[in-house]
Amino acid sequence: MLKLFYKLSLLCLILLSATVLYQKHTYAYHTLVHVDPLPHTKILMTEDKYADAQEYLSYFIQFDYVQQMPEAQPLLDKIKEKRTSLSYRSTKIAEGISTGTSDELSGQISAIGSDFFLIGDLRDLAIEGEHYYHNEKVDSVLVSLSTIGLVATVSTFFTFGGSSVAKSGVSALKMGHKSNLIPAWLSLHVVKEAKSIRKTKKLSSIKPLFKSLDTLRKEVGLKDALKLLSRTNNMKELQGMTKLSKRYGKESLTLVDISKKKLLTHADTFNQYNKSTVKAASTYGVHGFGQLLKGGEKHFIKTTKRMKAYAKVGYKGEVWKVLLWLMKHLNDTILILILSLTSLLLLPFKSVKRFF
């Protein structure tokens, strides 16, 4: 009886090791862990980034597993209440007028309004002129944008609003620059184009940039448009972001950030998949996008369905939790070693002795 129990134990160990090894490499279940949005939301709140906090949590709360979190909805309600308070909105409006930056729509409107009606361009040129006069560092990007802004203002007047896209584009870029959201490649591009515009008084060379930025703004809003812009490395990526925003709308920024830009760099592949599948992958973080890329849509859907089924095995899914722990913490060498030793121990003692 003891001998039978011994052999059955070894067989179970072999079966368990083989199962863990197979599942680890075929489906990689251990990498697919749902993102908990609450910790990051709370961090954003402590940084006074309530607009970002609401956007982030609002994205995840559409999924069942987040809706089942008792703290999720009350936290979202608390954020909304804060953003609608009079004191908060007044602070953001004042911030937009005085600094030309804001993470809230009310502050952005006041910031862009001052730039659109010439005040902002003259203000920034005066500030940088004073820096130059006192031999202090001059912000060449801000000077370049203000120069383009002045030309755009004159063009808008004489073309009866024909250059308004350029004017609003300048205002948006100035806000982005003051918020450190303008990437290095774009700063160089703006400085270069400003020199040309100063001579020719024509905006044609920079219009493709403003057109892409205007499309982004219409699809995702100004705040997210600038943040998506900051994630780009060249004009090609900016155009890619524009296409991406047309598909994912206001969820674009969250998806790009969760995927660590995989959604942009592998856009051709992800565009072949159903949008709901891409969003399902996002709930597992960057590993979800990795699994979707690696195995394709059908494989990913099959994997997640199996995970839901396995999670019901045993008391409250405890068996599945043990398997996930083993997949995560046991490397291939240990699993192969366990398989080899247990297989060897199943052999008759004489065969083992002859082997050694």
Q: Show the 3-state SS of 35-85.
A: CCCHHHHHHHHHCCCHHHHHHHHHHHCCCHHHHCCCCHHHHHHHHHHHHHC
**Residue 54, in any domain of the structure:** no
**Residue 43, in any domain of the structure:** no
The answer to whether 351 touches 40, Cβ cutoff 8 Å, is no
Residues of the chain falling short of pLDDT 50: 29, 158, 160-162, 315-317, 352-353, 355-356
pLDDT on residue 155: 67
Please name the residues in contact with 37: beta carbons below 8 A apart, sequence gap of 6 or more: 56, 57, 59, 60, 61, 66, 72
Residue 208 tokens read as: 């493709």
Distance between CA 198 and CA 127 in Å, rounded? 19
- Single-letter code of the amino acid located at 233: N
With both helix axes pointing from N to C terminus, report the angle between 105-116 and 222-230 in degrees, rounded to the nearest 10. 80
Distance between CA 194 and CA 144 in Å, rounded? 5
List the helix and strand counts (H, then E) for the chain: 22, 0
Domain C-terminal end among 258, 292, 310: 258
Q: How many structural domains compose the chain?
A: 2
Distance between CA 40 and CA 27 in Å, rounded? 28
> How many Cα atoms within 13 Å fall on the side-chain side of residue 33?
10
Distance between CA 18 and CA 50 in Å, rounded? 48
The answer to whether 56 touches 37, Cβ cutoff 8 Å, is yes
Distance between CA 32 and CA 281 in Å, rounded? 9
pLDDT on residue 167: 76
The answer to whether 20 touches 326, Cβ cutoff 8 Å, is yes
Indicate whether 305 and 243 sit together in one domain: no
Indicate whether 99 and 229 sit together in one domain: yes
DSSP letter assigned to residue 138: P
**Residue 73, in any domain of the structure:** no
Distance between CA 190 and CA 197 in Å, rounded? 10
Rg (CA), the chain: 28
**Residue 128, in any domain of the structure:** yes
pLDDT on residue 66: 96
**Domain span at 229:** 89-258
Query: Could you read off the pLDDT of 228-247 as tens digits, one per residue?
Result: 999 999 999 999 999 999 99
**Residue 167, in any domain of the structure:** yes
Residue 197: which H helix or E strand, with range? helix 184-200
Indicate whether 179 and 247 sit together in one domain: yes
Indicate whether 198 and 105 sit together in one domain: yes
Please name the residues in contact with 123: beta carbons below 8 A apart, sequence gap of 6 or more: 114
Indicate whether 247 and 322 sit together in one domain: no
Its pTM stands at: 0.75
pLDDT on residue 267: 94
The answer to whether 128 touches 177, Cβ cutoff 8 Å, is no
**Residue 27, in any domain of the structure:** yes
Alpha helices in 204-317 (DSSP H): 207-220, 222-230, 235-248, 252-258, 262-265, 267-270, 275-282, 286-310
pLDDT on residue 112: 59
Query: Could you read off the pLDDT of 285-342 as tens digits, one per residue?
Result: 998 999 899 889 998 888 788 766 555 555 444 555 555 555 565 566 666 676 666 6
**Residue 225, in any domain of the structure:** yes
Indicate whether 307 and 251 sit together in one domain: no
Distance between CA 173 and CA 146 in Å, rounded? 10
pLDDT on residue 137: 81
pLDDT on residue 139: 82
CA nearest 222: which of 250, 262, 243, 199? Answer: 250
Indicate whether 124 and 236 sit together in one domain: yes
**Residue 347, in any domain of the structure:** yes
